[in-house]
Chain A
Amino acid sequence: MSLQKDPDRNEIRHLRKFVDLDDKRVLEIGCGEGRLTWQYAKDARSVVAVDLDHDSLRVAKVDQPSGLENQVGLACSDSEHLPFSKEKFDIAILAWSL
């Protein structure tokens, strides 16, 4: 199938316009298959990307660009019970998940 999602890259352009990700600790909620995650992850100091869907997380793992293994963590987690201590992240991104 010839599907292209966001061929003009409007989403990542707007994300970068709205927030400076450089050297930040980022939590992404609802990362899905990592479509957005893999576009900005290299900018951040660290990324934890969570989703409830195991299958989507598997795809995200497969699509993970090389060199980001130590920088990005993928986890299956419910946004209402985030398994992190307080004040751990500089930026949170609700990616199509509210």
Chain B
Amino acid sequence: MVHALEEIQRVLVPDGILIDLRPLADNWRVEVVSLREVKRTGRVEDLPVQTDGDLAANEAMQVVEKRSWFKREQDELFPFFYSWDTPSEMEEFVDDDWSDFVGMEEDTRRATRSAWAVADGDSRVRVRVEIWIARWKKNTINLEP
């Protein structure tokens, strides 16, 4: 990761901007949502490998900051939703596309199906992922470590 950041620093102009956009692995909430309400029904179970990835990325950015390649100017969290018409479509996607790094417990599946079955007609099912965005400015004076 640090080598990739060194490469980015190389190809950016002086005062160039690096935007780091990435999902945080913890606490992906499952919700049933309509225009009238949002009902939380559980969370996706993340696996340690994802959490380790977050830690490694953070450590890489700390190294970069320490070496004065970039300076962090701004950061923020925002929600990114994966949204489906029905719980079964959500479950199919989680099982087929996310099975390498997340899972969903039966309690959450059952709670989501139940909440959706009694919810308003416009209800959808969604997973809320927290995305971290940070703006880094390339330092014009590069101090070697």
Contacts and interface: CB of A to CB of B under 8 A. Distances in A.
B143 interface: no
Contact of A92 (B16, B60, B89): B16
Nearest to B6: A80
Interface string A77-98: 0011110111111111111111
A98 B23 contact: no
Contact of A89 (B3, B11, B22, B79): B11
Interface residues of B, number: 39
Instruction: Bin chain A's interface residue count.
Output: 35 or more
Nearest to B75: A18
Most-contacted residue by chain B among A18, A79, A80, A90 (CB, 10 A): A18
Interface in B6-27: 7-8, 10-14, 16-23
Task: Tell me the dominant secondary structure on chain B's binding face.
Answer: strand
Contacts of A4: 81-84
Interface string B96-118: 00000000000000000000000
Contact of A11 (B21, B82, B135): B21
Contacts of B81: 4-8, 10
A1 B7 contact: no
Closest 7 CB pairs of A and B: A2-B85, A79-B4, A98-B57, A4-B83, A80-B3, A82-B7, A93-B19
Interface of B: 1, 3-5, 7-8, 10-14, 16-23, 57, 60-61, 74, 76, 78-86, 89, 92-93, 131, 133, 135
20 contacts: A1-B84, A1-B89, A2-B85, A4-B83, A5-B80, A8-B79, A11-B131, A14-B76, A14-B131, A18-B19, A18-B135, A36-B21, A79-B8, A87-B13, A87-B16, A89-B16, A93-B18, A96-B22, A98-B1, A98-B57
